[in-house]
Amino acid sequence: MAVLRAKLLTKASIFILSGVLAAFGRPDRGVLLPLLAFFFGYSGIFYILRVQKSGTFRLAFFWALGVFSIQLGWLATTHYHGTCILAVYAAVVLLFALQFALVFGVYVSDRFSLARGLVLASIWTILEWSRLFYFCGFPFSPVGLGLTFDPLLMQFASAVGIYGLSFIVIFTSYLMAFFRIKSFAVCFIVVSVFGLAHIHYWERFNVKDPFYDVALIQTGLTVEQKESITIKKQWERIFAFLAASEKSHFDLIVLPEVALTYGEKNVHLEMAKKLADLYQSEVVIGLIDDVYNAAFYITPETEMVERYEKRVLVPVAEYLPFSFLKPYLLRYGITSFFDAGKEAKVFAGKIPIAVSICYEEGFCNLIREGREQGGELLLNLTNDGWFPSSRLHQEHFNLGKVRSVENGAFVLRACNTGVTAVIDPFGRVIKSMKEKDSQGLLNEGVQIALINGYSYPTLFAKFGNTVIISFCCLCSLLIFLIKRKCFSRVLSSI
């Protein structure tokens, strides 16, 4: 009896500890916690599932339910969305947990099989990738994000993207669950050496001196403040932020998504033009344009204005997914919605700029389109203020870092609230301004950086998710055919 209790206590401890590590081992939480999560997070639950004789589906489901409830906790922010958002949060978490249980709660066996490990990692990778196409798409919390806490480990994304990193995490965790320490170590060393060689090789070509002076404006306004402050006061703040830098020239000034009061687009464009002429700078600014959430590009000493229209819209907030929700939304004053843009856009400035708005940054396929069209600088305009006092801004920023590695290009982020930052083509943060200061107040001001706009070709930028998804499909198919053939031989011999 004592032995049985000890075994149950051990299992319970591993179950809880692995869940805590997987849930909290996010790449922004230092180095130790994400590293422990990589080693013992998912491998812990895989170990429990392989030694458990029954009830593995329930164990996998409730473990994943706890992990994703924490990782996606930012979604349950009712301040601006009402209690309806809780239903969305519950549905997403339940879907993620059910997927996890169906894959690992059903197919993890007590006998080690390299083929089974490859299939499990392949199926999970395909499921994560498929989330980009549900409804409006949901790119948050891929398992592979846990590997991005270190620049070396992150470089593998240049070949296989974020979903390739998810494959690595699941496959190596499967190895650890069966104590295949040497095999795990080989995988870890290969990924690390690849990262080291990748950075060393491409850094050799990064010889151009910094010449491109950027100013990223963080307006730092809540929704209520943005609606109550006058247009004049808003622009006075922006000019004051730039004046405080004591610089007379910039190459690029960026203002965030819906940077200023709704409406009055022409007034804002006129002021942005004055800003461009004053600093002899290209200006990109996020504004509402009738039925579009758009980014406008303005150049000095010309009347030319280009724009990019946001293509991935947020359900309920930006478009109406179901007509029966209309009466509910009327109670919150939501009466009109946006149209979705149709194509990627590259602004042909001193450095060609590919633009994304808000959580489009989470969609690796969309960002890659801008890179394919000649964008050498990836620019994201964001406002994470609709989810105040949550981790959305940090989770959003984590995805932005991966986009830089996938595409081999600088990422510039300008936020109203969020993490305004400059990220180099290897995912290293050059400059950043956090959402809040040490006293918990929203940061406001300008983040200045001098960069050279270096970019380089990557396998992912050329082929996208085709490489990893094709590998996963082919891997699963071949193993299925091999096992089927072996099974047929056994039957025929009988």
Backbone torsions φ then ψ of 260, nearest 5 degrees:
-130, 175
Q: How far apart are CA 317 and CA 386, in angstroms?
A: 10
The answer on 157 and 263 residing in a single domain is no
* Separation between Cα atoms, residue 232 and residue 420, nearest integer Å: 24
pLDDT tens-digit readout, 159-175:
999 999 999 999 999 99
Output the pLDDT for position 319.
Answer: 63
Pick 134 or 117 by higher pLDDT: 117
Pairing of the two strands 410-415 and 377-382 = parallel
Mean pLDDT of 194-207: 96
439 and 370 housed in the same domain? yes
Domain assignment of residue 445, yes or no: yes
Higher pLDDT, 259 or 237: 237
- 130: in domain: yes
Share of the chain above pLDDT 70, in %: 92
489: pLDDT confidence band, cut at 50, 70 and 90? very low
Lowest-confidence range among 14-23, 112-121, 283-292, 323-332?
Answer: 323-332
Q: What is the Cα gyration radius of the chain? A: 24
Are 281 and 250 in contact, with CB atoms under 8 Å apart? yes
Q: What single DSSP character describes residue 103?
A: I
Do 245 and 153 fall into the same domain? no
In a domain, 145, yes or no: yes
Say what the pLDDT of residue 448 is: 97
Alpha-carbon distance of 290 to 199, in angstroms, equals: 44
Q: Are residues 173 and 217 in the same domain?
A: no
CA atoms within 13 A on the CB side of 398: 26
CA dist., res. 275 & res. 217, Å (int): 12
Q: What is the mean pLDDT of residues 146-154?
A: 94
Domain-located, residue 58: yes
Task: Please report how the helices 157-177 and 392-407 are oriented relative to each other, as an axis angle in degrees rounded to 10.
Answer: 120
**CB of 255 within 8 A of CB of 286?**
yes
Residues 245 and 124 in one domain: no
- Looking at the structure, do residues 138 and 230 belong to the same domain, yes or no? no
Q: Does 224 or 187 have the greater pLDDT score?
A: 187
Report the mean per-residue pLDDT for the chain. 90
Lowest-confidence region among 39-53, 83-97, 135-149, 332-346: 332-346
What's the rounded mean pLDDT across residues 474-485?
73
Which helix or strand (DSSP H or E) is residue 195 part of?
helix 181-203
Q: Is residue 461 part of a domain?
A: no
Reported confidence tier of residue 224, pLDDT bands at 50, 70, 90:
confident
**Could you tell me if residue 63 is inside a domain?**
yes
Same domain, 156 and 181: yes
Q: 98: how many CB neighbours lie within 10 A of its CB?
A: 16
Angstrom distances, CA of residue 311 to CA of 77, 338, 344: 24, 10, 8
Residue 47 has pLDDT above 60, yes or no: yes
pLDDT tens for residues 311-321? 988 776 666 66
Per-residue pLDDT of 411-442, as tens digits, reads: 999 999 989 999 999 999 999 999 998 888 89
Same domain, 375 and 406: yes
Strands (E) across 179-271 are located at: 212-218, 252-254
Q: To the nearest 10°, the Cα dihedral for 84, 69, 129, 100?
A: -120
Residues 308 and 404 in one domain: yes
Q: How many structural domains comprise the chain?
A: 2
Is residue 235 very low, low, confident or very high in pLDDT (cuts 50, 70, 90)? very high
The answer as to whether 236 is a domain residue is yes
What is the pLDDT averaged over residues 460-468? 96
Q: What are phi and psi of 248, to 5 degrees?
A: -100, -5
Q: How confident is the model at residue 297 (pLDDT cuts 50, 70, 90)?
A: very high
User: Is pLDDT at 351 greater than 90 in this prediction?
Assistant: yes
Q: Which of residues 314 and 67 earns the better pLDDT score?
A: 67
Looking at residue 450, which CATH number applies to its domain?
3.60.110.10
The whole-angstrom separation of Cα 454 and Cα 203 is 10
Residue 493 has a pLDDT of 43
Specify if 460 maps to a domain.
Answer: no
186 in the same domain as 241: no
For residues 345-361, average pLDDT:
94
Helix (H, G, I), strand (E, B) or coil at 144: helix
Structural domain boundaries, residue 191: 2-203+466-493
Kindly state whether residues 221 and 274 are assigned to the same domain: yes
- Predicted confidence at residue 416, as pLDDT, reads 92
Query: In angstroms, how far apart are the furthest CA atoms of the chain?
Result: 87
Is the model's pLDDT at 488 over the cut of 70? no
Does residue 484 surpass a pLDDT of 70?
no
Say what the pLDDT of residue 176 is: 96
Q: Are residues 240 and 367 in the same domain?
A: yes
Taking a C-beta distance cutoff of 8 angstroms, is the pair 453, 376 a contact? yes
State yes or no: pLDDT of 483 exceeds 80: no
